[in-house]
């Protein structure tokens, strides 16, 4: 496949309000799918937000949400990606799900790096492995928010074959400059497309950055959102990616034995 159109949905996730968040996401997914978008990314914890004290109860809504998203993906012939709270044997994980256009779950990724500054490690268990999902548009690597600060993880996904890296986040406005810089760096150094979906709005006294974006392997911002709710789209030209990797063969010319 030479090219696809991808999209990102940026919105203010209402804390603990599953019905409202699901309704908003479904409406916008339908709208983007009607515009020919084949892959759509939602923010981190898009159904619940970080309603930490309610995670046990809220995680029980995730199977039903996945059923609805699976039906919608099949109906609209669209790949849908986003993270939700997952309960496994009484443990809560921040888990990204990739639902393919046939309505099946092509892969899941449990967030590895938990953000201790906000106490995320007190409420969630961390995942143990990076994940690259097979899809009809090529291999897709998954990152969640704080993972973006760990270049080793993104590089490992690239070495496993990822040509698209999806980042789902609730990244704060106070560190928006880091968000933009790190996204561009991950795209350039790994020669991949980066689809980064951040939330906007506020929880209590914490403001979120928005600034979702789609970035080319050259680091060019193909589409960007501001600080308010928005949907953005861009074409991903895989011929461009292949050309860049041939012209500047960074991945082929790595010298791992010299890196310690």
From 24, 86, 101, 111, active-site residue: 111
Three-state DSSP class for 80? Answer: strand
| Active-site annotation holds for 250 | no
Would you say 107 and 142 are in contact if contact means Cβ atoms under 8 Å apart? yes
Burial (CB < 10 A; 0-12, 13-18, 19+), residue 215, is: buried
| Joined tokens for residue 189 | 């150094």
DSSP alpha helix (H) spans, 53-130:
55-59, 62-76, 120-123
Strand-pair partners of 87: 92
Strands 193-198 and 213-215 turn out to be: antiparallel
H-helix or E-strand spanning residue 3: strand 3-10
Cβ contacts of residue 204 below 8 Å, gap of 6+?
none
From 24, 44, 120, 163, active-site residue: 44
| Joined tokens for residue 255 | 């010298």
From 86, 101, 120, 145, active-site residue: 145
DSSP alpha helix (H) spans, the chain:
18-33, 55-59, 62-76, 120-123, 151-159, 176-190, 238-247
> How many C-beta neighbours within 10 Å does residue 175 have?
12
| Joined tokens for residue 65 | 């949400």
Integer-rounded Cα radius of gyration of the chain = 17
| Active-site annotation holds for 145 | yes
| Active-site annotation holds for 54 | no
Mind telling me the catalytic residues? Answer: 44, 111, 145
């Amino acid at each position: 496949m030479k090219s696809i159109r991808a999209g990102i949905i940026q919105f203010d996730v209402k804390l603990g309000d599953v019905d409202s968040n699901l309704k908003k996401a479904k409406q916008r997914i339908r709208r983007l799918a009607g515009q020919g978008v084949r892959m759509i990314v939602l923010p981190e914890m898009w159904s619940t937000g970080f309603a930490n004290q309610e995670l046990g109860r809220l995680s029980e809504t995730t199977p039903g949400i996945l059923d609805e998203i699976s039906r919608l993906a099949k109906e609209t012939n669209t790949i849908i990606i986003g993270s939700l709270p997952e309960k496994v044997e009484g443990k809560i994980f921040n888990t990204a799900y990739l639902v393919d256009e046939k309505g099946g779950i092509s892969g899941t990724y449990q967030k590895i790096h938990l953000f201790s500054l906000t106490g995320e490690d007190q409420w969630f268990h961390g995942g143990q492995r990076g994940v690259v999902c097979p899809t009809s548009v090529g291999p897709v690597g998954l990152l969640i928010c704080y993972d973006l600060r760990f270049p080793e993880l993104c590089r490992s996904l690239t070495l496993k074959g990822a040509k698209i890296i999806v980042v789902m986040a609730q990244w704060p406005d106070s560190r928006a400059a880091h968000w933009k810089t790190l996204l561009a760096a991950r795209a350039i150094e790994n020669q991949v497309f980066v689809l980064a979906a951040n939330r906007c709005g506020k929880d209590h006294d914490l403001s979120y950055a928005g600034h979702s974006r789609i970035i080319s392997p050259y680091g060019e911002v193909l589409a960007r959102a501001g600080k308010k709710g928005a949907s953005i789209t861009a074409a991903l030209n895989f011929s461009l990616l292949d050309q860049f990797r041939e012209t500047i063969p960074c991945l082929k010319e790595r010298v791992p034995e010299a890196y310690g």
